[in-house]
Amino acid sequence: MLNEMDPASLQGTHRPATEAAHAGEIAPRDLGTSVAQPIYQTTVHSFKSLKELDRVQTNPDEGWFYYRNASPNRTAFETTMARLEEAEAAVAAGSGMGAIFIALSAVLKSGDHIIADEKIYGGTFGLLTQQLPKFGIETTLVNTADELAVRAARRPTTRVLYFETLTNPTMQVSDVPALADLARQLNLYSFVDATFSTPVVCRPLQWGADIVLHASTKYIGGHSDAFGGIVAGRADIVKAADLAGRMMGVTQGAFDAWLNVRSLKTLPLRMTAHSQNALKVAEWLEKQPAVGKVLYPGLPSHPQHELARKLMPTGLYGGMLAFELAGGPQALDPFIGALKVVQLVPSLADVTTTLSHPGLTSHRSLSAEQRANIGVKDELLRLSVGIEDLADILDDFEQAFRQL
Ligand SMILES: Cc1ncc(COP(=O)(O)O)c(C=O)c1O
């Protein structure tokens, strides 16, 4: 086998300690295109000369030199995400929050101001209202469905209009083209977190947004085994976000990037199955006496169903929905305790069906009053509908409701 490999750096025969220390330093000859990408679990690459090292540092497209800056697995992930979003460029980060942070860092400086939707994910709420003020960046939270409220919140220092395609967990549909247009009129960047929808369901850049963000920890990964985030869109902003990520050290590791690439292969299939099951589960839940409000953009009863049909033209609305228990907060424990297939999990987007309580998890950093203002009631549950057999999901809910 050895003669099929070119030794990359160690040449000739050496003593055992030297041979052992240099184990693995091989540069495979051209093997053709591998169907599955190898994992490049190396933090650094070696070079034959200073000139070669300088060339790669000056032109990152020509190779990789240090893991925090770029790695082959990350590049593979970023390239595919840019294609799926039809973005000029994309950069990965170590988590969804990392992606949001580097994207904002790309365009903001101390003294700047953000207008964000009041229903955003609790972690983003924490970043905007607790962390960024330490760096002199302020945020005003508004209902972005109210154009006048957005206009009224604008200051001379406002730079970004920030919202989510589908809000977590209240499932409000944002009017992406209208908000992207409003941002342009107000001379702001439009940033959209599309974690709940993925490029299979909705592509915000096509509707005029400047930047789309994903927690790839969720649907893009899809198996609860990888962490990551993506910033995609305008090349100038992505380049600045990439630089910020390198400096701040929020890089995605090779194995997580590799897992995200592996999962992208089935993203369209999974999103189709998630969406089909979720619509059926939402329709069924709406008919249950134990259930109050059901929030799913694919339901005709959803307040922005027509908007959802326009922005999600494939007829897929994703796997996320929320519902209230008619019995109020006291019904939560008996209901959750009776479930056998559906698991209580403080995350979402796994291939299995999982349930979470936003008040105690994703929106924990909000006060009870702030939660009430955005409709996150104590009896609200967020459901991430998986790709299992629909009948087993419904049977599990049915037997759990019977216990109430
Ligand atoms: C909409 C949304 N954006 C961003 C994030 C943050 O992702 P991560 O946990 O990978 O940092 C989450 C996490 O749940 C989310 O739901």
Determine the pLDDT at residue 269: 98
Determine the pLDDT at residue 402: 96
Tell me which of 170, 173, 218, 231 to substitute to probe ligand 1's pocket, judged by most ligand atoms within 8 Å of the beta carbon. 218
Q: Is 117 in the pocket of ligand 1 (CB under 6 A)?
A: no
Domain-wise residue ranges, the chain: 52-264, 267-402
| Each residue's pLDDT tens digit, 125-142 | 999 999 999 999 999 999
Pair of tokens at residue 334? 């008996």
Listed as own residue / partner, the contacts of 6-13 with beta carbons closer than 8 Å and 24 or more positions apart are 8/46, 9/46
Give the domain 267-402 fold.
Aspartate Aminotransferase, domain 1 (3.90.1150)
Tell me which of 195, 347, 363 to substitute to probe ligand 1's pocket, judged by most ligand atoms within 8 Å of the beta carbon. 195
Determine the pLDDT at residue 54: 96
Q: Is 358 in the pocket of ligand 1 (CB under 6 A)?
A: no
Q: Give, using CA atoms, the residue closest to atom 9 of ligand 1.
A: 96
* Intrachain domains 52-264 and 267-402 with the same fold: no
Determine the pLDDT at residue 13: 85
- Please, which pLDDT band fits residue 6 given cuts at 50, 70 and 90? low
Q: What percent of the chain has pLDDT over 90?
A: 88
Average of per-residue pLDDT across 148-166:
98
Q: 214 CA to middle of ligand 1, Å?
A: 8
Q: Is 158 in the pocket of ligand 1 (CB under 6 A)?
A: no
Tell me the pTM: 0.95
Q: Is 122 in the pocket of ligand 1 (CB under 6 A)?
A: no
Q: Give, using CA atoms, the residue closest to atom 6 of ligand 1.
A: 96
Q: Is 319 in the pocket of ligand 1 (CB under 6 A)?
A: no
CB 195 within 8 A of CB 267: no
Q: Which residues pair with 91 in a beta bridge?
A: 231
Integer angstrom CA distances of residue 152 from 141, 160, 187, 366: 11, 14, 14, 24
Average of per-residue pLDDT across 310-336:
97
Cα–Cα–Cα angle for 1, 18, 12, rounded to 5 degrees = 55
- Please, which pLDDT band fits residue 332 given cuts at 50, 70 and 90? very high
CB 318 within 8 A of CB 196: yes
Q: Is 164 in the pocket of ligand 1 (CB under 6 A)?
A: yes
| Each residue's pLDDT tens digit, 91-105 | 999 999 999 999 999
Taking the alpha carbons of 306, 307, 313, 315 in that order, is the dihedral positive or negative? negative
Give the domain 52-264 fold.
Aspartate Aminotransferase; domain 2 (3.40.640)
Residue 7 confidence (pLDDT) above 90: no
Q: Is 112 in the pocket of ligand 1 (CB under 6 A)?
A: no
- Strands (E) in 146-210, as ranges, are 158-164, 189-193
Determine the pLDDT at residue 3: 42
| Each residue's pLDDT tens digit, 23-79 | 888 777 777 888 899 999 999 999 999 999 999 999 988 999 999 999 999 999 999
Residue 5 confidence (pLDDT) above 70: no
Q: Is 193 in the pocket of ligand 1 (CB under 6 A)?
A: yes
How far is CA 236 from its chain centroid?
21
Residue 4 confidence (pLDDT) above 70: no
CB 183 within 8 A of CB 190: yes
Determine the pLDDT at residue 9: 64
| Each residue's pLDDT tens digit, 239-297 | 999 999 999 999 999 999 999 999 999 999 999 999 999 999 999 999 999 999 999 99
| Each residue's pLDDT tens digit, 316-328 | 999 999 999 999 9
- Please, which pLDDT band fits residue 396 given cuts at 50, 70 and 90? very high
Average of per-residue pLDDT across 185-208:
98
